[in-house]
């Protein structure tokens, strides 16, 4: 099977997972909208992440901080000074590139020797210019006298600047974590690969505050836990997940050690999540810039110190793309496309179909719908042949098809069709809820 990103994009549009933003106006670069199925899938993934962090771990709590924050935060974090990508333009065809994608040595003077990958002309590249990735905006009604603010490029800083308040109100002792899901914005020079790299996206970040000296051990633990999440919770094939360690030249200015969790996307292995040992870099910078003492008092060792931070930082949209790519399957024997999503993250758990639109079958099907819908998302479909109805739902990733026929009226049974195998069982209507619920664990 040739699993291409184009096929996934097309299925996402047709079935209502993801649309290009502002499509009727010709689209808006690198921003996407999530349709009826997409929003359910995205929420399901986010909910599992949230549960894994804040419900399973007694020492991790949640936070929802603002997108706009005091501009000094971005000076302290290093984003104003360091959050740049080098940009080059081809003077011939006006294509734009991130310099580091065209040459390893972006400081070299050799841009007159570089060939444009698009038009093929050599020697027309501009020298690299540094380009800050943060979106600026203006606070206050009068543009000239207003204060500049930034749309946050990561959710992490909201956690750092609130860490003492959270610790104070929860009385948590080190080690403890704070988790947050929210939008982040980066004015990416080249946004590509569908929802992999966009200018507006969602991050799921957890910052784990540890005693300096325990950071290496915590890093090992969190790497293992996070890998497990992809395989056991999201149901991604373990052959498609790997770690990549950042070498000296890749390490961000704040990191002592960094690992990416990568997924084998149709366009190659790429980062979905970063796990970083940020040391006390962020808290010490915020101490310096805010003038506030951010040290933690450790009652066990009777000392004050700035905790080290182990960060797990995942892109929700990238994670969803990994889930979609992994689930995508062309069943050539049966001429159908299937999203083999784990039932627990599938947008809809079952489709309920009366075999025909008369003889009381729709009423019976609706009565099943009423029983199931308080528990999970189900759909009712009476349009078209039963085979077409099933295939539509295979593409949507719906794991079960429930069909009501004339026998259902006599003995209160239905057929339960399994998406991946297309196997059908005859079951008692009273058992449907239990069977589906069991598969959602």
Q: Which residues bind ligand ATP (CB under 6 A)?
A: 154, 186, 188, 197-198, 201, 203, 271-274, 313-315, 317-318
* Closest residue to ligand ATP using C-beta atoms: 315
Omega cis (within 30) before 93 = no
- CB 394, CB 338: distance < 8 Å: yes
> Is the Cβ of residue 265 or residue 296 nearer to ligand ATP in the bound state?
265
Nearest alpha-carbon partner for 42 in 190, 276, 178, 201? 201
Work out how close the CB of 180 gets to ligand ATP at its nearest, in angstroms, rounded to a whole number.
Answer: 13
**Residue 132 to residue 148: CA distance in whole angstroms:** 15
> Is the Cβ of residue 215 or residue 273 nearer to ligand ATP in the bound state?
273
Work out how close the CB of 246 gets to ligand ATP at its nearest, in angstroms, rounded to a whole number.
Answer: 9
What is the DSSP-derived secondary structure letter of residue 116? P
Work out how close the CB of 154 gets to ligand ATP at its nearest, in angstroms, rounded to a whole number.
Answer: 6
Q: Which residues pair with 205 in a beta bridge?
A: 180, 313
**Residue 286 to residue 380: CA distance in whole angstroms:** 54
- CB 211, CB 198: distance < 8 Å: no
> Is the Cβ of residue 316 or residue 404 nearer to ligand ATP in the bound state?
316
Work out how close the CB of 176 gets to ligand ATP at its nearest, in angstroms, rounded to a whole number.
Answer: 21
> Is the Cβ of residue 182 or residue 399 nearer to ligand ATP in the bound state?
182
> Is the Cβ of residue 271 or residue 287 nearer to ligand ATP in the bound state?
271
Work out how close the CB of 408 gets to ligand ATP at its nearest, in angstroms, rounded to a whole number.
Answer: 46
Work out how close the CB of 40 gets to ligand ATP at its nearest, in angstroms, rounded to a whole number.
Answer: 20
Work out how close the CB of 315 gets to ligand ATP at its nearest, in angstroms, rounded to a whole number.
Answer: 2
> Is the Cβ of residue 273 or residue 280 nearer to ligand ATP in the bound state?
273
**Residue 104 to residue 303: CA distance in whole angstroms:** 45
What tokens does 307 get?
């905790």
> Is the Cβ of residue 182 or residue 401 nearer to ligand ATP in the bound state?
182
Q: Which residues pair with 98 in a beta bridge?
A: 87
CA distances from 95 to 98, 99, 118 (A): 10, 12, 7
Q: For the chain, first and last CA: distance in Å?
A: 30
What tokens does 360 get?
């009381």
């Amino acid at each position: 099977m040739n699993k291409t990103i184009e096929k996934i994009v097309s299925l996402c549009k047709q079935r209502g997972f993801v649309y290009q933003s502002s499509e009727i106006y010709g689209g808006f670069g690198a921003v996407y909208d999530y349709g009826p199925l997409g929003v359910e899938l995205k929420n399901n993934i986010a909910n599992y992440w949230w549960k894994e962090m804040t419900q399973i771990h007694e020492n991790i709590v949640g936070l929802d901080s603002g997108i706009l924050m005091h501009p000094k935060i971005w000076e302290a974090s290093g984003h104003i000074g360091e959050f740049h990508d080098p940009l080059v333009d081809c003077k011939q065809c006006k294509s734009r590139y991130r310099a580091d994608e065209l040459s390893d040595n972006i400081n070299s003077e050799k841009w007159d020797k570089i060939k444009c990958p698009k038009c093929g002309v050599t020697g027309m590249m501009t020298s690299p210019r540094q380009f800050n990735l943060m979106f600026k905006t203006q606070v206050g009604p009068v543009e000239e006298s207003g204060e500049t603010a930034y749309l946050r490029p990561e959710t992490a800083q909201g956690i750092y600047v609130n860490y003492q308040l959270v610790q104070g109100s929860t009385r948590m002792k080190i080690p403890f974590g704070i988790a947050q899901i929210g939008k982040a914005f980066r004015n990416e020079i080249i946004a590509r690969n569908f929802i992999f790299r966009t200018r507006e996206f969602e991050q799921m970040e957890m910052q784990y505050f540890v005693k300096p000296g325990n950071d290496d051990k915590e890093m090992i633990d969190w790497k293992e836990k996070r890998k497990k999440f992809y395989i056991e919770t999201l149901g991604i094939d373990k052959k498609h997940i790997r770690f990549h360690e950042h070498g000296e030249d890749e390490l961000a200015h704040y990191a002592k050690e960094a690992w990416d969790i990568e997924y084998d996307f149709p366009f190659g292995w790429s980062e979905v999540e970063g796990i970083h040992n940020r040391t006390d870099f962020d808290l010490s910078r915020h101490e310096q810039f805010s003038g506030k003492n951010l040290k933690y008092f450790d009652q066990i060792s009777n000392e004050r110190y700035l905790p080290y931070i182990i960060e797990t930082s995942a892109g929700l949209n990238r994670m969803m793309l990994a889930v979609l790519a992994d689930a995508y399957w062309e069943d050539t024997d049966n001429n159908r496309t299937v999203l083999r999503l784990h039932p627990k993250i599938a947008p809809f758990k079952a489709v309920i179909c009366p075999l025909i639109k008369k003889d009381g079958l729709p009423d019976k099907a609706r009565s099943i719908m009423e029983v199931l819908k308080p528990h999970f998302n189900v759909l009712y479909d009476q349009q078209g042949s039963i085979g077409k109805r099933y295939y539509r739902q295979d593409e949507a990733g719906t794991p079960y098809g429930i069909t009501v026929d004339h026998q259902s009226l006599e003995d209160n049974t239905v057929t339960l069709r399994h998406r991946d195998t297309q196997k059908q069982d005859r079951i008692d209507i009273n058992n449907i809820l239990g069977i589906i619920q069991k598969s959602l664990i």
